[in-house]
Structure 1
Amino acid sequence: MMSGRDRISQLPTEILDNILGFLPIVEAARTAVLSTIWRDCWSNLTQLNFDDQFFAYVRKKYPDSYNRTSTCMYVINKVLRQHHGPIRKFVLDFKGDVSIIGDGPNSRKFDFDQWFLFITQKGVEEMSIAFPNPDTDEIICEEYKYFRLPNCIFSCLTLKRLDLSAVLVAPTINVPCIFPNVTSLSFVGVVFDRINLDCVVDVPMLETISFSQCEDVEYFNIKAPRLGSLTLKDYEIEEDIEVYCSITPVNMNLSFIHTLCLNFSFQHFASKLTRWGPELNVECLELAYVQFCDDDDFSSFIHSLQICPKLRKLDIIMTVLIGAEISKYTLLEGFKSAAKRLKMLHTLKLRSFTGSESELLFIKMLLACFHALEKVVIIRDKVKFDSNNEFKVMQKLFNFPRASRNAKIIYI
């Protein structure tokens, strides 16, 4: 190799752009001083990431700035003005003065709207937009208002993936469909505006959707004919069944979803699953917070399995707690009744395994009842697992009687 030869700069532009995409945006900007090649790459960067690192860097570099939020806004404006070419991915995790989101004298909503309009005209395919959440972040602003998502995002033709956090979703465009080519939607702490439930809007290409700690989801009244995956997580709801109805769109047809993830205390929600039909077409089911404090909890769990007769994969985050009042006979009969319906279940994954007696009893019952099981993957919780008893736990696991001779246990 010739001394001093710069092989990296000779790489194709697409590869250089991919390399810069892995760097924090501050580091990517610094490469512009290397040569005209790198300067062109920086000004044509297809991934712009204004995240925690970016805001922390600006605050550290300009500690004496009168308004560090305005300084961050100025830098983002300058980057966008100097940018040429397409932008495939855009990330904004806003960390600044929330008063600029409202309607007060310090409002800078116009800047945000202009950014998003600019981005949606640059061929963007992935967007991640996050603002401070008043329920989880320390916000000192009595009149805090959620940022209202502009209509240019709802109508963007190139957008395929959208992740939103702590914004207000309230489409006001008069069109038959929104997010025309989006295949993946994720909502965290999002508030949906109260609109006419008789007005159903089509999201034609949507395949995956996720809701976490959102409000008034029932008003997100959409039709998604290609939807295959639904995730509901991190909800903290009491036994009020009516409240559970509001965590999913009221008219969205979910009878054809093949992947369902319920990452919250789902027992009281289980009875509402049948509103999508007496039987679901779910093939992959993920459950968390599996706790059987009484017979009703256990019945809800069994019900969740029984309405998924096509289930092939069951993924459980192990938080199993079996109350002393639930007999082994009740557990065994419940699993037997579920096994009669789930004749296609071949893969079982158990995560965050701690080796507790409740978990071991749970696994023993599953192995004894499901005849189609081929693979059981047990992933231990490295923090909570008691390594002193690991040999005894493994000995019990591998010696449990199995209804299927083909059932193999993989312990990780």
Structure 2
Amino acid sequence: MGVQEQYPFDVAAVRDDFPILDRLVGGDPTSPGQDEADDVDLVYLDNAATSHTPDPVVDAIADYYRSYNSNVHRGIHQLSQEASVAYEEAHDVVADFIGANGREEVIFTKNTTEAMNLVAYAWGLEELGPGDNVVLTQMEHHASLVTWQQIGKKTGAEVRFIEVTDEGTLDMADAEAKIDDDTEMVSAVHVSNTLGTINPIRELAELAHDRDGLIFADAAQSVPNRPVDVADLDVDFLAFSGHKMCGPTGIGALYGREELLESMGPYLYGGEMIRKVTFEESTWEDLPWKFEAGTPSIAQGIGLAAAIEYLEEVGMERIEEHESLLAEYAHDRLTDLGGVEIYGPPGDDRGGLVAFNVEGVHAHDLSSVLNDYGVAIRAGDHCTQPLHDELGVAASARASFYLYNTVEEVDALVDAVREARDLFA
């Protein structure tokens, strides 16, 4: 059976919802006389950075602007009421999607980074102090690492890092040693955006809770492509971004256990998040609104809900299966190519991405050559500079897959990598 015959859903039908995938790329877009004959098919393999947006999601956003564009929670008129209902129901869609108890546990943010900062400042500044520690992993994205690092400097709390094994997995013996009775927070990436490692979040949660600590899961690379249930993971906080899961930019979500969110003060102050204001005092609105100051990202929230509904129609289990199929195929083909070093676990035990380097070729040069063949990948440190230091490399190339990618596109990647390898040999 060919790999294509193992697709868990009709990939061609899905691709029809993404017109951008039909683009031709090449030449100099600023040159009015470029030769279109030099253009090539786009092969988009940079989904861990940003995924594309299907027509139904674009239509939902456009319908808001065309039909009921208005501010929320501030008007009695019909448009404001319609916008308010749609925006509130978007919280319900997110809550159902991740297994939260209700909209009270879902805060809309700009992205995962803002969600991390919200907790770090609203909870961390109040709860952390000298003698406490926060435990991260060596594979953390800068959104987590830099945020807790800086909160540690402000509060005097120690920041510790669970080591990564040579196989690219967490050293759980080191985790048990690092997470102790002084640990107030464990913040761990669910799926590494560099190694593809799928971390044992529930096991880390058990270690944290046994010592009366909390756990924050960075789910930016897991919620978009696999079933995620906050109750099953037993997390206290979890965050993800809409632009990595067929949604618009400028929207993300923070899940927090209701009792924790109730105990925390606001991160931002101003309109929308208040209940009563006098010249001397202010009181806060109920959850989730007390954490959503000012005019929120209304269209983006509605777009995120539409993206979730689109993904659920395809099926999250099937999307996970499809990504795993492509990641394993890419891992095996790049390994067989020779002269390629791949980082992270084996191909059958990783998320839907492959980070690698080609012997004698800098990742930036490799990405430039691949671009000539229409293949879009990421090159750099992927916001994991300390992890790259541990790997002993300045940068890596990363191909990341999503529900609309195909085996033929992986073949195009491998062919282009071969050409680059031979070019620099």
TM over 0.5: no
More helix by percentage: 2
Larger CA Rg, structure 1 vs 2: 1
Q: Which has the higher contact order (CA 8 A, sep 6+)?
A: 2
Q: Shorter-chain-normalised TM-score: which range?
A: under 0.3
